[in-house]
Chain A
């Protein structure tokens, strides 16, 4: 099953404290302390403010914070001009504030990355001031790169083309030119001087001690200069990085180096070394290509750049981003592409700066949420650790009228209050004005509004990040592109170990279909991750998907999830085996062929039983022993039946000792082409007889067969089989239910269920073919007959007739049932889960508490359910004159026997639990250990249950009652499926018992609904507790209402003396059911064990006062 979401932290949760590869699963939130939150009202953000807002960052779902420079600086380059490595800029607070921030962040499992700007310093840095004043050749001056003329290093490009004309700048004090790759106020440090490296390492050591988890190495390719080179990516530079890394590994293993190298991938590859340089590096070229792919509506740019991306060492990781504090750099694209990008994304020349575009994510896409979401989905699913730039999670805008790149560095928009809630200062004191326009202004776009709006970009980001957190495949998986014919669709698979995530994105502006070649994953079920919806399984053909404009899907290709129940497993007929017939159906029966064909008949029959039927049965939903191969499905008994146009064989198959009912229909292409086509999805085998070809198919998919069955039921026919006979019999309700014209009703497509196959005829009849056949009267038929004909209970499904098999020894087996069709809105289980899903979605983001009667409409239905349940039991209790139904009084021995049984089951369950204890996940294991320790209390509790329930009745009851067994129709419920628990023998299913067992079943079902719904909502960890509390509240009120409705309907029926007294008996049955569930979950779904455990725990607690 899916990863648990409540209670337990997900098993694959990322970012565990001691994982040395934590950065591979990191989701980084990039922010500037200056722009985030101002705690002291001076117009500038500070560390205290940031610390206050850590909860917000945690709730967003990221796990790492990357701080832009906060060191002392003249702030001519937004802090990248450092004038002191061992301090915090006084604007932002003190070193003490920073320490506290790191501490608080670590408490929230957030890691902190800071900048290590080592290529250059500010010209205000004491080192530079000392250097310019020190004489030429002195160690002080050797901290920087000096020259007497500008002719050195001519091959070096100028990066800031808009502001700088040379890499050399004249210093009048030093009377020399100094080297600067960036602004002329940022002299480059001289890494040929070992003292420089020493000083840098000292700074690094300082911040490591405070608790910083990693460093972004700014402008790393430019450290060392050599004549005659481009002065980028020099081997000497790599040598310096290796030294830094070695130093870091020795003293602070597990801390991160992130290289900022705006280079082509093959050059960036060098910065990983052999895993001995940086842990991470930016993938610069990918970013513009994601924009380009969307602009061109073609996947090519992304696919191409990822294919050119070299492999990186195992322990290394790419850092990927959509936007950052700099311009959207277009250095890594060709000239033509750059022109295209400018045209598409920066039509206003003011939006351009250097070789890039200075805009935020939302304005780049004209605030089109579809494309913004699509871009984010790409970012979060491409190989690498994604970086989210602050403000982009709410779709903040920019201000291109501010100088340099300040337009994308405006204050974070927290609320519609003054200064966007960023600061209490006078607006004119702010370091930059907040965005105030109509579209992106803080009154339209802010955290407060988006937190409360469930469908806001912010909440969507939270959901997406929560989903991403559940799989290592996003961060660590191998990337494989699929190449569907539709080039507007980008599809790729991320694989990590057994996990596989399929990502499909529509880059086009209109809806797009796509056919994906997923043969490699044949048989897996794609589960859409945002909604956790299972899709039809992947087959051997192309997997067809349609995507809305700018839509995307993330699928987990699951092996542990069942296909959606409406999915019809269709094996194309050509892939079915062929049966060669020589004499129609007779070809299978040695005593039905002419003498010289006997041998052939034996062979045909064997082939049919071992190859065709066995393979067919194995694949059916209704085959009970799933997963076990079938050796032979032996034709135990059969009747040939010419049903209208259909030539049918009613076959009873002996499959490994169990009897299955498989009616088959034979259709030949030359005569009944249309029928052959209609049978297509249900084909068991192709058939050939001389020159004729046709199909053998499941007869329940054959309209003619279904009609003939109704007709035969109406007429009460009997058909002789080889050994016994098949009897069709109507009930007295047949005529009323079927009407006159039942032969012309449209026949629906058969739907396979877990134990039977159902076909609807019009909106009138419902033909249910049982598959696994057991000797004896089927309780569903028996009870249905009783409720239809004797009790006239309106809220069940009336029975119109049955198909029975009479074996030669006289035993009867029910093969099928004809019931009235009840138009409905689905079963109670689905309805409840959907209801809860909606309920959980609504208040998740909102801050206000739910209104008192929030469940009013649902609870009204629950009351009806309770009433109908009570009425059903009352109907059973009124039975008279039918020994199979007549009520019997509950005796003291009965109660003792029930208790004994529960005691025995409890002992067996605990034993099983003990044996499987080691396989349970942590929270369930704790609960299990606690339960094992409470062995005695449990036994005592069982004993104390039902001491004297007063006079009560044993009657027939539903036997397998839960929310899935009631259909919601017109605000009322129809109770269906009186088959009882399919795993139990018929005699036991037909035995009388206290009907409170049904009530207990429904109560447990409500509890399961709670957990299932909790698990189905996309988890945001911080919501878990609140949602769990809401769910508990819901369950308790649903329980309460259900019991009230039940009590009202059963009062005075004699089922019990007084309801209050029977409560104890009810608890006994609830305990029994929970124990049963526990056994089931241990054996089948260990991930769910905590549900019954919790239930047992609740029941074992000493009973609250009356």
Chain B
């Protein structure tokens, strides 16, 4: 047993981290989705990783880094759809029949992957009749369209395939969330060292230090859970996959959200400004909390793996 990152995984992590540092600076990220950068991510293999012989654990390491930089775009969907649909792909993990759908990054995507009860269907975005963009989306880096009637689309996978996509989407989203949670800890720590009040860095005050310590622990515990889920995806014999995955989603969602809020609190008034990046992490955390199932659904999925009530 070696639950540590392998040498190759460390190299992969460092490579993606360096790429994000160079390409996904705050300035670029704030401009939103960029097709050229998406192509560059595709060129480095972010979407084709598993087709290239890597596993879910490697993909999780990669998405953790993308999350640290809070990279905009339908990254998880483009990864899931690799080999099935070309180009930028967005999706809908749980359409509710008869209810309007909210789809992210529609303008960027040529295809919407819809996971319904019967399986996976691909809808071409130019086939949509009634998509209307939200004027004021919660996350400024995640444009959202409202679609009242979703066309049928081309069926490319059965219910089992759809379930596998949901699991993959869950683990990659969770990895992205833990990366965000780590980045929030680091940004808030850095700010607490630079910001001085009462003639000393605010990070020296235990009231602030303890917020940061809790953030660090939350991110690390969630990260262990996400890596365990990803390893179990690669090697389903080692644990109960549904339980591990649901647990990872619960903890990663909580870590991204609570750490973004912790970061906002440590940043004080600056955290409430548009100029600071803190709100980008918090708003993405809210958006991702409703991606591939919400917290109640994850909790119910986990509870279902425990003994039923007598």
A binds B: no
Interface residues of A (CB under 8 A from B): none
